A and B are shown apart, each in its own frame.
Chain A
Amino acid sequence: MKQYDLLIVDDEKRFADMLAKRLMLRGCNCEVCYSGQEALNRIKHRNFSLILLDLHLPDIYGTEVLIRIKEIDARAPVIILTGHGTQKDRQECLQQGAYAFMHKPLGIDNLMSVLAQIEEMSV
């Protein structure tokens, strides 16, 4: 299996850590950050094969983070993973180039299959 580089952006620290651990068990390389600004800083310095982005971040709202990510790297695949998403958020995010808009709680297998899809597309 190919080594994925994932960035998990979520202010729920325990959730983010736990998800990172599970993904790492599935052979992914995960980084975790808890704020929008931190995420943007990391994306500036390296490429990720997938960014999992929460909307309700303490500093910058998720859609804004998404816009800025796309400014840095327009091709970076971003999946919005939120527990609070509204239809408006969903439309906006998909317009701004998010790959998918997913609701918490999320089955890990679903996430893995999305990862596989992204991989297929990039090949």
Chain B
Amino acid sequence: MSDALDALVERDREHECPGFGPDKVCVRIVAVAKLPSRFGDFRVVAFWNNRDQKDHLAIVHGDVVGAEGVAVRMHSECLTGDVLGSLRCDCRDQLETALSRIGALERGVVLYLRQEGRGIGLANKIRAYALQDRGLDTVEANLALGFRDDERDYAVAAHMLQSLGLGPIQLMTNNPDKISQLQKYGVKVASRLPHLLPPNPHNRFYLETKARRSGHYIDFSGTPHLQEQSDPVLVEGMIDK
């Protein structure tokens, strides 16, 4: 199982996409290693790209190179949630759920995209939190802080999927728009798998409160929640609107 991915590292040495340049995305697979984790047996694939000076990752389970119907989840880096266990967002739940589900399948991929705060950067995300703490209308404030357009992120993600040599994929998302975005960049999406989070004490409020505005929830501690992944949060038992 290791050979196919290792071969991609060889393949991408000195690789340059045709038309490689400032306005074209080019990615290379630069390293592959085993990543046994509490969520299952994975391999981690490191990518280089010419766009954002960020090392994006693919966390791969099973034989995916050349396979069809591979389950794929795109996750945007969220240091506060993923690493620090912040309850201001649901990123850790989303990531852990994706890794456990994929770890239980025959094969699958989590793309770990290093676009903190959906691309606005960590410092601006903390600034947005600070505005929320002051009780401002945070929807407005966040619009202003301006989640960067997702477009270029999809371009890089799509290219990463293509580099892995995946056939038509099954995308784990609650946002059908993501499918058309990826398709725009040439990724074949065979179907969509809803990404439902198992209920837990931290996300229980989703089942009990109604969103005041799109993607805007107040949790039990009174802290506003924002959608940091470009997916609406769906908890099992919630009515899918």
Q: Are A and B interaction partners?
A: no
